[in-house]
Amino acid sequence: MKAAYVTAYGGPEKIVVGEWDKPTATAPDHVVIEVFAASLNPIDYKRNRGDMRIMKSETFPHRFGYDVSGIVAETGTGVTNFNVGDAVYARVDEEEAGTLAEYVLTTESKCAKKPSNMNHKEAAALPLAAMTALQAFERAGVKNNNFKKAFITGGAGGVGHYAIQITKNVFGIEEVATTVSEKKMDLIKSLGADVVIDYKKEKYVEKLSNYDFVFDTTGEVVSTFPIIRKGGHAISIATIPDGDETARLMPINWFVKSLLNVMSWNTRRLAKVANVNYQYIFLRASGAELERIRQWVEEGKIKSVIDSIYSLDQSAEAMQKIMDGHATGKIVVEVKA
């Protein structure tokens, strides 16, 4: 089959589109998906260029891509929720990465039925980004704490634009604020944002105050502490992770765990000084959560914003686009029309 892969640590210049062995279902819970579309996320270029090698080194050639929408091509003997021919979407695990290909192997627990009112490109944009937003809100206890005001940095980004919709349309937060550039303001307001700040012209610390919850998608969580009420919550997916959270996701040795704790210590210290409940989170892939998201999509509460669409042969160009930053929504790779 045809697949995109990298031959060494580096940028888009290391990406090759060539032949790769087609996966088969060799375990009872395996699901082989014929890929119609995939989408890229920052984790893809970070792994490819070696940003995460302190936690996990790569072997080459190495495939990338976590988000997929397609048709079930084969199932293991123990799969009960999906049949060959079903339209599904998924966020595959780190070990299964490689959705920029004609086929990808994952497990039943990572899959859900594709939203019926989305095409494969729209559905492929969802998994990692929408689940990340959902898990951030639930880790902060949005429902239990009855939050009224939430601030999301980078509201036009892949995660940010879903976060706005989930915060407003699913959890019913009264005031949702975010930062974008001026040209994207109308779009972000249409997604549900109540307060939209042009980060190029205004400082949100001078405009906002007494927020219950901050979701940092851009690596500026410390700067948000002054706008959070005492005892409020902040979740980041873009700062330095602490060693304990990393160890829950993947096996790391004591040295790496200690190093990450040292590197993230100042952020945690400043959060305590500000009386803010701060957490860094990694995504946990879950088909059950994708099923919840599917229902919200079909209820009209969430939609995908796609910045641009590339072919599989244009995988390097797609990677360059996401590395350049400032995309509005998601970067999608169409594998099969």
CATH number of the domain that residue 98 is part of: 3.90.180.10
Crossing angle between the packed helical segments 315-324 and 42-49, to the nearest 10 degrees: 100
Q: Which of 235, 264, 280 is the last residue of a domain?
A: 280
> Do 266 and 311 belong to one domain?
no
Q: Which of 234, 265, 280 is the last residue of a domain?
A: 280
Question: Between residues 311 and 244, which one has the greater pLDDT?
Answer: 311
Query: For 288-297, what is the mean pLDDT?
Result: 98
User: pTM here?
Assistant: 0.95
> Do 35 and 87 belong to one domain?
yes
> Do 276 and 134 belong to one domain?
yes
Instruction: Indicate if the pLDDT at residue 95 is higher than 80.
Output: yes
Is residue 243 within a helix (H) or strand (E), and if so which, with residue range? helix 243-249
Domain membership of residue 32 (yes or no) is yes
Among 219, 212, 185, 186, residue whose Cα is nearest residue 200: 185
Q: Which of 280, 297, 324 is the last residue of a domain?
A: 280
Q: For residue range 136-190, what is the model confidence (pLDDT) as tens digits?
A: 999 898 876 789 999 999 999 999 999 999 999 999 999 999 999 999 999 999 9
Q: What is the pLDDT of residue 54?
A: 78
> Do 14 and 59 belong to one domain?
yes
**What's the angle, vertex CA 154, arms to CA 149 and CA 155, rounded to 5?**
60
Distance, in Å, from the CA atom of 34 to the CA atom of 84, rounded to the nearest integer, reads: 10
Domain membership of residue 293 (yes or no) is no
> Do 11 and 145 belong to one domain?
no
> Do 137 and 276 belong to one domain?
yes
Distance, in Å, from the CA atom of 260 to the CA atom of 278, rounded to the nearest integer, reads: 16
Domain membership of residue 135 (yes or no) is yes
Query: For 267-296, what is the mean pLDDT?
Result: 96
Domain membership of residue 64 (yes or no) is yes
Query: For 185-196, what is the mean pLDDT?
Result: 97
Domain membership of residue 298 (yes or no) is no
> Do 175 and 76 belong to one domain?
no
Range of the domain at 148: 129-280
What strands, in cross-sheet order, belong to the sheet with 149-152?
195-198, 175-180, 149-152, 211-216, 228-236, 277-280
Domain membership of residue 290 (yes or no) is no
> Do 101 and 142 belong to one domain?
no
Domain membership of residue 273 (yes or no) is yes
168: tokens are 């407003």
Q: What would the 3-class secondary structure string for 166-208 be?
A: HHHHHCCCCEEEEEECHHHHHHHHHCCCCEEEECCCCCHHHHC
Q: What is the pLDDT of residue 263?
A: 86
CATH number, position 254: 3.40.50.720
Give the mean pLDDT of the chain. Answer: 95
Query: For 14-40, what is the mean pLDDT?
Result: 98
Query: For 31-46, what is the mean pLDDT?
Result: 97
> Do 156 and 72 belong to one domain?
no
Domain membership of residue 11 (yes or no) is yes
> Do 133 and 263 belong to one domain?
yes
> Do 256 and 313 belong to one domain?
no
Total domains present in the chain: 2
Looking at residue 12, the DSSP 8-state letter turns out to be: G
> Do 79 and 37 belong to one domain?
yes
Q: What is the pLDDT of residue 144?
A: 65
